Structure 1
Amino acid sequence: MNDIAAPGAYGVITEPATLTIQRHLPGPIERIWAYITDGELRRQWLAAGAMETKVGAPFTLTWRNDELSDPPGHRPEGFDAEHSLDGTITECDPPRRLSITWGSTGGVTFDLAPAGSRVLLTVTHHRVADPALLLKVSAGWHAHLDVLAARTAGEQPAPFWDSWLRLREDYTRRMQG
Structure 2
Amino acid sequence: MQKVPSEMSAGIKVAPDTVRIERHLPGPVERLWAYLTESEKRRQWLAAGEMELFAGGRVELRFRHHELSHEQMPDRYRDAASGEPMYGEIIACDPPRLLTFSWPGDNGRSEVTFELTPEGEDVCLVVTHRRLPDMEGMISVASGWEAHLGILEDRLSGRQPRGFWSTHKQLKEEYAKQFAAG
- Scaled by the length of structure 1, the TM-score of the pair is 0.90
Asked if the contact 2:9–2:174 (Cα under 8 Å) also holds between the matched residues in 1, the reply is no
C-alpha separation in 1, matches of 2:172 and 2:75: 11
Point out where structure 2 has 5 or more consecutive residues left out of the alignment: 1-5
Deviations 1:103-130 (A, max 9, x none): 3433000000001110000000011022
With over 3 angstroms needed to count, the CA separation of the structure-2 counterparts of 1:7 and 1:152, relative to structure 1, is farther
**SS of residue matched to 1:77:** helix
Asked if the contact 1:25–1:120 (Cα under 8 Å) also holds between the matched residues in 2, the reply is yes
**Among candidates 131, 154, 177, match of residue 173 of structure 1:** 177
1:92 aligns with 2:93: yes
Asked if the contact 1:73–1:162 (Cα under 8 Å) also holds between the matched residues in 2, the reply is no
Range that drifts further, 137-146 or 124-133: 124-133
Deviations 1:122-175 (A, max 9, x none): 000011022212111111000000000100011111111111111111111111
Aligned residues with identical type, % of pairs: 42
Deviations 1:26-70 (A, max 9, x none): 11100000000001000000010011211111121011111101x
With over 3 angstroms needed to count, the CA separation of the structure-2 counterparts of 1:78 and 1:57, relative to structure 1, is same
Report the equivalent of 2:160.
156
Whichever residue aligns with residue 111 of structure 1, its letter is E
Asked if the contact 2:88–2:108 (Cα under 8 Å) also holds between the matched residues in 1, the reply is no
C-alpha separation in 2, matches of 1:161 and 1:23: 20
Report the equivalent of 2:56.
56
C-alpha separation in 2, matches of 1:14 and 1:38: 29
Asked if the contact 1:73–1:160 (Cα under 8 Å) also holds between the matched residues in 2, the reply is no
Higher helix share: 2
Asked if the contact 1:38–1:51 (Cα under 8 Å) also holds between the matched residues in 2, the reply is yes
C-alpha separation in 2, matches of 1:112 and 1:49: 21
C-alpha separation in 2, matches of 1:73 and 1:10: 26
**Among candidates 114, 120, 130, match of residue 116 of structure 1:** 120
Point out where structure 1 has 5 or more consecutive residues left out of the alignment: 1-5
Range that drifts further, 143-152 or 74-83: 74-83
Range that drifts further, 153-162 or 129-138: 129-138
Alignment of 1:1-177 (within 5 A): 8-69=8-69, 71-75=70-74, 77-79=76-78, 80-83=80-83, 84-102=85-103, 103-177=107-181
Whichever residue aligns with residue 13 of structure 1, its letter is K
Range that drifts further, 50-59 or 28-37: 50-59
Paired residue total: 171
- Scaled by the length of structure 2, the TM-score of the pair is 0.88
C-alpha separation in 1, matches of 2:74 and 2:64: 11
RMSD after superposition: 1.6
